[in-house]
Amino acid sequence: MIVLRSASIESQATNNPSRGYALSPSFASLLKDFGTRKWKKHLETFKKETKALKEELERKRALEKIPVILPDGLELQLSAGEHNVLQKAIIEEFLPLFGMGAEVLYIGDTSDKFLFLKQDKLTELGYFTVEHEELPDVIAYSEEKNILFLIEAYHSTGQWSEIRVKKIREKLMECQANIVYITAFESLESFRRKAAEIAWETEVWVADFPEHLIHFNGYKFLEIHK
């Protein structure tokens, strides 16, 4: 290993803004011997140790995957992290409750932004060309209701703000589906911290209370209280 990700807390998600990068101790030690008589011998040792470490980490990474089952029964493996735990809840709890038979068209893993993608179906619906910075965490489509769910799993960033929704709406002028914007939070506490930044005419789902939705477009729902 040459560069290692670092964080104050080992379990922090990959996209946590407190993460940084540092040279591995073994590589830093190797650099100190560059240009000296020890260089070749030290380099060979480093290569052997790196290969062994790589194999060990790959085995560890496989054990730390988060399994998630899509509505059609397909199983995927998400990388470890709180962000992906919430994505698992979105797919396995939110969609069965509120998705109206929705099919998952896209899932972005923290270590692989294109872990799962059905580009042909998105193109058919008129969704713009997939771009990393414009993608929500989960996209699902209900053919029964012609609804395209754009779902953000909020961990440290990513809520549907007024500016972000406006930007996406402009790009989705030709989309043939009705679009619903949803910000998912793991708890009411995390939602409260960002409540003032949530865009009107969007929805909020909290994993701690999976049977409920918070609507930021109240007028059209007033009739149900009669």
pLDDT tens per residue, range 130-140: 565 668 999 99
Phi, psi of 148 (to 5 degrees): -105, 115
Query: Residues of the chain with pLDDT > 70: what percent?
Result: 79
Write down the pLDDT at residue 37.
85
Lowest mean pLDDT among 48-52, 200-204, 206-210: 48-52
Structure tokens at 37: 């008589």
Between 42 and 4, name the one with better pLDDT: 42
Residue reference for tokens 């670092």: 6
Write down the pLDDT at residue 226.
45
Sorted by where each begins, the domain ranges of the chain are 3-63, 66-225
Domain 66-225 has CATH 3.40.1350.80: yes
CA distance to 8, 46, 60, 139, per residue, from 135 (Å): 28, 39, 29, 8
Answering whether pTM is above 0.95, one says no
216's CB contacts (< 8 A; 6+ apart) are 198, 199, 200, 201, 202, 203, 204
Question: Is the predicted pLDDT of residue 98 greater than 50, yes or no?
Answer: yes
pLDDT tens per residue, range 135-163: 899 999 999 999 999 999 998 788 999 99
